[in-house]
């Protein structure tokens, strides 16, 4: 039996004069457990209070032209939790570019210190129709990786966040016109020599005809 209570506090984003954007997160969780014939929980009631602290910073950059708009955003997320975590090494948890910055990316508090580094680039088309400016996505590319001071044996192995240097997670979205779009997600090993995860989704839409193709390869 488990009973948990969570309290999350997120500050508003602060913009400095040099363009850097920051915010801070404090995560608190109280977990109460009692078990019977369970290898992970004791038979007597147990209560523990865990906390985690996250500092996020980014530098949004934008360059606008008559027909295009480019944005480039370097990002970092520094997190720290002073508490030990239970053994979740065999828990299935896949990390991608969509959840690598999330405060609850593993579903549990991860012990120790880590630094998430990433880069987002977006190219958009700008057009004017009936005196109204229209902006459509053309190319969106994202990369991120996680660095850690020490290896954490209790973090899910398949997430690769247990290592000092995790996989490189990325995503490429390409929309050359209004009818075709490609979305490619990947996870590349720290040595940049093996793709452990590949997902390619192609969408085609023309009038009343809409179809998609999905190719998934997961060897990790």
Q: CA distances (Å), 93 to each of 90, 156, 158, 220, in order?
A: 9, 6, 6, 12
**Chunked in runs of 10, what are the mean pLDDT values of the chain (220 residues)?**
92 94 94 84 86 95 90 96 87 92 88 95 84 79 95 92 95 92 94 91 93 88
Give the separation between CA 211 and CA 49, rounded to whole angstroms: 49
Task: Output the pTM of the full model.
Answer: 0.85
Q: Are 73 and 139 within 8 A, CB to CB?
A: no
Contact 82, 44 (CB under 8 A): no
Best CA proximity match to 58, nearest among 16, 93, 106, 8: 16
Q: How do residues 45-91 score in pLDDT, each as one tens digit?
A: 888 899 999 999 999 999 988 888 999 999 999 999 998 888 888 88
Rounded Cα distance between 153 and 156, Å, is 8
Task: Identify the residue whose tokens are 């209070």.
Answer: 49
C-alpha span between 32 and 3 (Å, rounded): 5
Contact 91, 133 (CB under 8 A): no
Mean pLDDT (the chain) is: 91
């Amino acid at each position: 039996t488990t009973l948990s209570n969570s309290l999350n506090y997120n500050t508003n984003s602060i913009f400095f004069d040099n363009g850097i954007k920051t915010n801070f997160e404090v995560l608190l969780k109280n977990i109460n457990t009692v078990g019977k014939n369970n290898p992970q929980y004791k038979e007597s009631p147990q209560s523990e209070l865990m906390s985690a602290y996250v500092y996020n910073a980014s530098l949004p950059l934008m360059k606008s032209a008559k027909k295009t708009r480019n944005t480039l955003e370097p990002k970092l997320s520094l997190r720290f939790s002073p508490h030990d975590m239970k053994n979740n090494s065999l828990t299935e948890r896949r990390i991608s570019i969509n959840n690598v910055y999330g405060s609850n990316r593993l579903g549990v508090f991860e012990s120790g210190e880590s630094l998430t580094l990433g880069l987002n680039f977006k190219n958009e088309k700008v057009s004017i129709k009936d005196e109204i400016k229209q902006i459509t996505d053309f190319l969106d590319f994202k990369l991120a990786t996680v660095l850690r001071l020490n290896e954490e044996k209790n973090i899910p192995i398949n997430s690769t966040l247990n290592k000092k240097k995790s996989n490189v997670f990325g995503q490429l979205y390409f929309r050359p016109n209004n009818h075709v779009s490609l979305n490619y997600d990947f996870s590349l090993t720290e040595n940049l020599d093996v793709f452990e995860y590949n997902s390619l989704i192609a969408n085609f839409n023309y009038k009343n005809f809409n179809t998609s193709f999905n190719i998934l390869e997961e060897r990790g």
